[in-house]
């Protein structure tokens, strides 16, 4: 498929009979493992990717280094790849649109964009975020590219007032982001079945993304609740780093090797992860 065809296929996955399970990779081999496992698309994890490159999650990394990492992953995949663009690497809608142009040119077919600042934990003004999404859509249209926009809101975590007030703010933002041109909305922190069901209904069953975390209902139940997309977030990175900690502890404390040998892939398998699928 061409890059545009991959984007259209990715958009269609948000409206299929089955919800989209989207793994988040942080480098070339993790992305290839997910592709080889049969996932129909792959996304990047901002936290996983940034930390793997020596930066904390957020926008401490320079845009060009970020785009280089996206490009390296995209070039080895045959399935669609969406990039987590954090908050857009820019303070103005125009700057964010320029970042999106770079992401498309790097091979991504979709983006995830946040509405808060990592350094402060403060939400961007909703009017500003709406203008960013509109600018992103205009830039993609000017490139004649069907970019898939996943608009994340952290209102449930960083909004003001009571839990109910933050939930209402999340709904309001999601609806405005939808109307501004997003293809999917992503209320970070939504976990329990009741809140998920309520959220899906109040955005008129527009595609909603939730993230795998403790307390999230199983896939079958999420499907019944009307969720369109379930992403790993940084969960796979956490799990991989947890395995390395267990390996280290076992060898240092017991002098045995079960953790490092059990379930491991071979040298040839590792080497093959750097080669695109034929």
3-state secondary structure the chain: CCHHHHHHHHHHHCCCCCCEEECEECCHHHHHHHHHHCCCCEEECHHHHHHHCCCCCCCCCCHHHHHHHHHHHHCCCCCCEEEECCCCCCCCHHHHHHHHHHHHHCCCCEEEECCEECCCCEECCHHHHHHHHHHHHHHHHHCCCCCEEEEEECHHHHCCCCHHHHHHHHHHHHHHHHHHCCCEEEECCCCCHHHHHHHHHHCCCCCEEEECCCCCCCHHHHHHHCCCEEECCCHHHHHHHHHHHHHHHHHHHCCCCHHHHCCCCCHHHHHHCCCCCC
Per-residue pLDDT of the chain (278 residues; tens, 9 = 90+): 999 999 999 999 999 999 999 999 999 999 999 999 999 999 999 999 999 999 999 999 999 999 999 999 999 999 999 999 999 999 999 999 999 999 999 999 999 999 999 989 899 999 999 999 999 999 999 999 999 999 999 999 999 999 999 999 999 999 999 999 999 999 999 999 999 999 999 999 999 999 999 999 999 999 999 999 999 999 999 999 999 999 999 999 999 999 999 999 999 999 999 987 76
For residue 275, the model assigns a pLDDT of 82
Q: Which CATH superfamily includes the segment(s) 3-233? A: Phosphoenolpyruvate-binding domains (3.20.20.60)
126 close to 153: Cβ distance less than 8 angstroms: no
Torsion of CA 140, 142, 143, 146, to 10 degrees: 40
Pairing between β-strand 116-117 and β-strand 122-123 as defined by DSSP bridges: antiparallel
Name the residue among 178, 240, 207 with its Cα closest to residue 47.
240
CA–CA gap between residue 36 and residue 50 (Å, rounded)? 23
Reading phi first (left if > 0) and then psi (alpha if -120 to 50, else beta), residue 41 is in beta
For residue 278, the model assigns a pLDDT of 65
Domain ranges of the chain: 3-233
- Whole-structure pTM over 0.85, yes or no? yes
Cβ-based neighbours of 241, under 8 Å, separated by 6 or more: none
For residue 68, the model assigns a pLDDT of 98
Give Cα 186 to chain centroid, integer Å: 9
CB atoms within 10 A of CB 28: 18
């Amino acid at each position: 498929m061409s890059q545009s065809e991959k984007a259209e296929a990715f958009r269609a996955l948000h409206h299929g009979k089955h919800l989209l399970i989207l793994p988040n990779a942080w480098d070339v081999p993790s992305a290839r493992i997910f592709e080889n496992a049969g996932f129909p698309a792959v996304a990047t994890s901002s936290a996983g990717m940034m930390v793997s490159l020596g930066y904390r999650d957020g926008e401490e990394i320079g845009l060009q280094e970020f785009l280089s990492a996206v490009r390296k992953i995209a070039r080895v995949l045959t399935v669609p790849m969406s990039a987590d663009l954090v908050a857009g690497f820019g303070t103005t809608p125009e700057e964010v649109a320029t970042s999106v142009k770079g992401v498309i040119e790097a091979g991504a077919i979709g983006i995830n964009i946040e509405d808060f600042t990592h350094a402060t934990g403060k939400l961007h003004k909703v009017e500003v975020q709406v203008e960013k999404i509109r600018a992103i859509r205009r830039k993609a249209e000017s490139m004649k590219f069907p970019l898939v926009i996943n608009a994340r809101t952290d209102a449930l975590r960083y909004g003001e007032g009571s839990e109910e007030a933050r939930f209402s703010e999340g709904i309001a933002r999601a609806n405005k982001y939808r109307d501004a041109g997003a293809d999917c909305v992503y209320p970070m922190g939504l976990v329990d079945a009741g809140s998920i069901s309520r959220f899906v209904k109040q955005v008129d069953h527009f595609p909603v993304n939730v993230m795998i975390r403790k307390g999230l209902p199983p896939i079958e139940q999420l499907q019944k609740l009307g969720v369109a997309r379930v992403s790993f977030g940084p969960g796979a990175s956490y799990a991989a780093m947890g395995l390395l900690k267990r390996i280290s502890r076992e060898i240092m404390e017991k002098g045995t090797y079960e953790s490092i040998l059990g379930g491991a892939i071979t040298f040839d398998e590792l080497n093959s992860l750097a080669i695109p699928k034929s």
